[in-house]
């Protein structure tokens, strides 16, 4: 575990943050390239078998970079990662990248692609990464439905066929049924006409102030 900690957060206000002030300017004009280079680094690391000389060189470079980044850590409400809606997956490099083509009462439609670093085994995507994409986009469908924040209560993924890497895939999520705060969300992931996975899930609308 690294000792690096993000900056102290502001007072805990639960899941609702009316003052998010989302801006595509956060992180500056080169934040997109910064994000992309980090994803590329993760791709390379997933497949690299470095010489010891290269490993030592990379360790020194990364330590230097991490020390520089330590000077610029902010809290989760201020970081561009997760709020740069102009970037794939809102600039959150922990998510598989996606681009939203529709988000409304009929649900969310996105193009998602799994990169080399999402490798599970034998050249295809890790099932956990598929679940991460469904969690985020299922959460988005329920958030749009209630115009608020929801948390996942359960997420069942049916893996119907292998999910390829480096391929634009269609993910669709929608609230199938609402019962008060309970949003039953269905979703599919397709490679062309082929169904890769689908979900049965429940998202709960948070009460004001609820974490």
Ligand X SMILES: CCCCCCCCCC(=O)SCCNC(=O)CCNC(=O)[C@H](O)C(C)(C)COP(=O)(O)OP(=O)(O)OC[C@H]1O[C@@H](n2cnc3c(N)ncnc32)[C@H](O)[C@@H]1OP(=O)(O)O
Is position 80 an interface residue for ligand X (rule: CB under 6 A)? no
Is position 130 an interface residue for ligand X (rule: CB under 6 A)? no
Q: In the set 154, 161, 177, 192, which binds ligand X (CB under 6 A)?
A: 154
CA distance 57 to 43: 18
Cα-Cα-Cα-Cα torsion 121, 122, 125, 129, nearest 10 degrees, comes to 0
CA distance 199 to 186: 6
The CB-of-177 to ligand X minimum distance in angstroms stands at 12
Is position 182 an interface residue for ligand X (rule: CB under 6 A)? yes
Is position 84 an interface residue for ligand X (rule: CB under 6 A)? no
Please check whether residue 81 is in contact with residue 92, taking contact to mean a CB–CB distance below 8 angstroms: yes
Interacting span for ligand X (CB under 6 A) from 35-43, 51-59, 149-157, 192-200:
149-157
Is position 135 an interface residue for ligand X (rule: CB under 6 A)? yes
Which residues form the interface with ligand X (CB under 6 A)?
135-136, 139-140, 143, 151-154, 180-182, 202, 204
């Amino acid at each position: 575990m690294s000792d690096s900690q993000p900056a102290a957060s502001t007072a805990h206000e639960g899941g609702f943050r009316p003052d998010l002030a989302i801006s595509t300017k956060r992180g500056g004009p080169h934040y997109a390239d910064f994000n992309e280079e980090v994803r590329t680094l993760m791709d390379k690391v997933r497949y690299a078998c470095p010489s010891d000389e290269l490993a030592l060189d990379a360790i020194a470079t990364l330590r230097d970079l991490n020390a520089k980044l330590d000077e610029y850590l902010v809290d989760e409400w201020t970081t561009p990662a997760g709020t740069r809606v102009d970037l794939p997956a809102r600039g959150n490099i922990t998510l598989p990248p996606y681009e939203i083509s529709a988000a409304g009462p009929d649900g969310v439609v996105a193009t998602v692609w799994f990169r080399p670093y999402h490798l599970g085994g034998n050249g295809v995507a890790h099932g956990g990464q598929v679940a991460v994409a469904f969690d985020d986009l299922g959460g988005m469908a329920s958030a749009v439905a209630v115009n608020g924040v929801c948390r996942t209560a359960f997420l069942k993924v049916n893996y119907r066929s292998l999910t390829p890497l480096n391929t634009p895939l269609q993910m669709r999520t929608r609230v199938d049924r609402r019962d008060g705060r309970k949003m039953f969300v269905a979703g599919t992931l397709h490679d062309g006409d082929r169904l890769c996975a689908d979900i049965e899930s429940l998202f709960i609308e948070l009460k004001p102030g609820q974490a």
